[in-house]
Amino acid sequence: MKIALIAHDQKKNEMVNFMIAYEKIFSQHTLYSTGTTGARIMENTSLHINRLASGPLGGDQQIGALVTTGDLDLIIFFRDPLTAQPHEPDVTALLRLCDVYGIPLATNVATAELLVKALELGFFSWREVVDKYKENN
């Protein structure tokens, strides 16, 4: 599975702790992240992250582009709902793209944990079938 990881500044520590807790599961997948979040995760785990630009510098848009090309299966985006974000239109566009393309999206730890447990149990196997179908057509 191809998974994107994003965290607003006030949520980066939470993301790092989440990735430490589920490092074994995430190590079996291809990971993408916005710049600073990816750097922080790699500093604290043995995970390899394909780092994109920082969110405010276009990273959210880069992840959106991966959604539109079918190159992502899941997004974990720890948003800070209490702080105004200068790139809020990019965030909103990314959330909309997840809905348009049917990409599972967690915006908080509780939902992210449910998705990771589902991933561990193989409940996202249907995405692999869809990906193979796309490759053959």
Residues tagged active-site = 60
The pairing of strands 74-78 and 105-106 is: parallel
Q: Are 107 and 80 in contact (CB under 8 A)?
A: no
Residue that has been written with the tokens 């209490």 in this structure: 82
Neighbours of 23 (CB within 10 A): 14
User: Is 3 in a helix, a strand, or coil?
Assistant: strand
